[in-house]
């Protein structure tokens, strides 16, 4: 009984998590407050971390004389989460500009689990479809395996050399410095500014092959979103995510397929080409979607010119 009780206590302790209110994900609380409390009409950028790290909202705000909100945060929350987060706060006259990474609609339940514990309101942004439950099942299997291994090591007094995350986000980001990835990383518009002036990592992460696939389900979500936006007296546009030149060339066939499907089936006006959002590798900070200070300036200048060309702001 003593042994069983000890095992139970260790298992409970090993399974507990601390949900840090200063975590990078916690910025969703501030972004929600921003979009709920900023008067319309606004320019709202919606997407993932390519926007968080790749936009100078104050420059756009100054150019057009309108409030600019950057809702970009994290791609692995999934497309539905990103769209629903903005959808619930759209008002007449708003201009929404979407920018989504090439994987478009992937979610990682570990991150969903964290953000919903940290910020229960985030439950409203989740679509519980087949992919969601599949990811949830994988997550609990993984957690059970990790808990079993941790219990074994703790009980037999062995040293466990897990690579613990400095920031509880997906594996792509988990080892990054919390001085960059934190709730305090963002300015009053929702842009990450913590990386400005910082030394760049030696290598850009996330250099993986893009899989060419059928995006029809994701495009349907985008089209449904576009209809909702129109019905509420707002407008929506799409721009491709920033991407490094070397990775762009390596993935050109998959990118062309992605572009073709959007052009053929998406009912949202596209204001840039993938090529226009291709930047020198030297303009990226730490991942293939995160621009550095010079990169975010160049991208913002291009977007301003495209917004003028398309007469997006009256």
Kindly list the domain boundaries of the chain, sorted by start residue.
2-309
Q: Does 3.40.50.1110 match the CATH number of domain 2-309?
A: yes
* Minimum mean pLDDT range among 148-157, 244-253, 283-292: 148-157
Phi, psi dihedrals of residue 77, rounded to the nearest 5°: -75, -20
Model confidence at 82, pLDDT cuts 50, 70, 90, reads very high
Show the tokens assigned to 310: 């398309």
Query: What is the rounded CA–CA span in Å between residue 18 and residue 1?
Result: 29
Supply the pLDDT for residue 168. Answer: 38
Q: What percent of the chain has pLDDT over 70?
A: 79
Give 285-308 pLDDT, tens digit per residue. 999 999 999 999 999 999 999 999
Q: What is the pTM of this model?
A: 0.84
Quick one: average pLDDT of 65-80?
95
Give 210-249 pLDDT, tens digit per residue. 988 999 999 999 999 999 999 999 999 999 999 999 999 9
Supply the pLDDT for residue 18. Answer: 77
């Amino acid at each position: 009984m003593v042994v069983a009780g000890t095992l139970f206590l260790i298992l409970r302790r090993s399974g507990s998590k601390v949900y840090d209110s200063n975590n990078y994900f916690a910025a969703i609380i501030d972004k929600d407050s921003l979009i709920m409390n900023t008067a319309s009409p606004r320019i709202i950028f919606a997407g993932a971390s390519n926007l968080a790290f790749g936009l100078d909202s104050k420059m756009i705000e100054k150019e057009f004389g309108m409030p600019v909100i950057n809702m970009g945060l994290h791609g692995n929350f999934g497309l539905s989460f990103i769209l629903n987060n903005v959808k619930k706060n759209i008002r007449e006259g708003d201009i929404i500009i979407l920018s989504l990474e090439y994987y478009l609609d992937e979610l990682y339940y570990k991150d969903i689990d964290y953000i919903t514990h940290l910020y229960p309101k985030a439950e409203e942004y989740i679509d519980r479809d087949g992919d969601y439950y599949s990811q949830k099942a994988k997550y609990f299997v993984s957690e059970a395996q990790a808990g079993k291994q941790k219990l074994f090591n703790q009980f037999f007094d062995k040293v466990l050399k897990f690579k613990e995350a400095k920031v509880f986000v997906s594996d792509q980001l988990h080892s990054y410095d919390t001085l960059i990835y934190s709730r305090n990383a963002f300015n009053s518009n929702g842009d990450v500014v913590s990386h400005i002036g910082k030394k760049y990592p030696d290598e850009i992460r996330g250099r993986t092959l893009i899989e060419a696939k059928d995006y029809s389900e994701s495009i349907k979500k985008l089209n449904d979103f576009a209809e909702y936006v129109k019905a509420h007296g707002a407008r929506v546009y799409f721009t491709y995510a920033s991407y490094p030149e070397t990775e762009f060339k390596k993935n050109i066939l998959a990118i062309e397929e992605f572009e073709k499907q959007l052009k053929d089936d998406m009912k949202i006006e596209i204001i840039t080409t993938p090529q226009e959002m291709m930047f020198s590798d030297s303009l990226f900070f730490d991942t293939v979607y995160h621009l550095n200070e010079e990169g975010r300036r160049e991208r913002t200048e291009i977007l301003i010119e495209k917004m003028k060309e398309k007469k997006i702001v009256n």
